[in-house]
Homo-oligomer: A and B are copies of this chain.
Amino acid sequence: MRYVLKIAYDGTSYAGWQRQKNAVSVQQRLEEALLQALGTEVKVTASGRTDAGVHALGQVCHFDAEVSVPPEKMPDCVNRFLPDDIRAIKGWQAEDGFDSNRSAKRKTYCYRLYEGDKENPLLSRYAVRIENLPEVSLLQDAARLFEGTHDFKAFCASGSSVKTTVRTVYEVKVVKEQVFSQPIISVYVTGNGFLYNMVRTMVGELIEIAAGRKTADSLQKAYETGERNLLGKTMAAKGLTLVDVVYQD
């Protein structure tokens, strides 16, 4: 039977989703917990990697196991063996042919920013401080430039091997939110898939354009040439959270 789990994690202490040789990953901790819970080794596949330090509220993963645990009981079963910063929040049986990675239709990430001249210790695990954050309306205008189908090669960390760097971004939504009585800006990015570092580079460029330091033209040139050095910096991992993975069209 193929089990599907929706999981949430605080990525601060992990070298990302994928197993690493010299660092602890979320995948490793989850597979270890499943071994303890089920008494059998399983290999877990996720909708996609998240980088070191990136968080998740709705990561989806699957594994195959011949055990007697009902799928909806799997979260409680494995949570007993997981560290506090990783939680399985929902479990169900996979439909025929389901693969958490290949069947994913769209994903939503959230990048969180706050303005201030001092760090806020209650925000700084999950959001990134910017000294002069552009107006929300300017960020919203700039957000439009990233929507649509583009070649995002320039947004991608070098060294990654993917067949195509063309992706479709369905929506980039910039919203003002209050977290722990502090105003923050959340940038929600929904697309059919994301390259390594793509959201973090996109948010960096979004700020540059909204602040007037870069233009729509220079972004267009980055789409056309694929040159990384036309873009601003890659934003820190801790501001990024994988919010949702959708499997229906």
A interface vs B, CB < 8 Å?
A: 8-10, 55, 57, 75, 79, 84-89, 110, 112, 118-122, 124-126, 177-182, 241, 243
Contacts and interface: CB of A to CB of B under 8 A. Distances in A.
5 contacts: A8-B122, A55-B122, A89-B120, A179-B179, A179-B180
A16 to B, nearest CB: 15
Top 9 A-B pairs ranked by shortest CB distance? A10-B121, A89-B118, A85-B121, A87-B119, A179-B179, A8-B121, A87-B121, A9-B121, A87-B118
Nearest to A58: B181
B118 A181 contact: no
A242 to B, nearest CB: 11
A89 B182 CA distance: 13
Nearest to A178: B177
Nearest to A83: B121
Contacts of A110: 180-181
A79 B88 CA distance: 37
Contacts of A121: 8-10, 55, 84-87
Given A177-B178, A179-B179, A180-B179, A122 B75 contact: no
A55 B122 CA distance: 8
Nearest to A90: B118
B241 A75 contact: no
A110 B182 CA distance: 13
Contact of A180 (B57, B75, B86, B88): B57
A243 B181 CA distance: 9
Contacts of A124: 84
Interface centre among A57, A118, A177, A180 (most CB of B within 10 A): A180
A57 B182 CA distance: 9
A17 to B, nearest CB: 14
Contacts of A85: 121
Given A79-B118, A89-B120, A112-B180, 12 more contacts: A57-B120, A57-B122, A57-B181, A57-B182, A84-B124, A85-B121, A87-B118, A122-B126, A125-B125, A126-B180, A179-B179, A181-B243
Contacts of A75: 118
Contacts of A8: 120-122
Given A125-B125, A177-B178, A119 B57 contact: no
B178 A87 contact: no
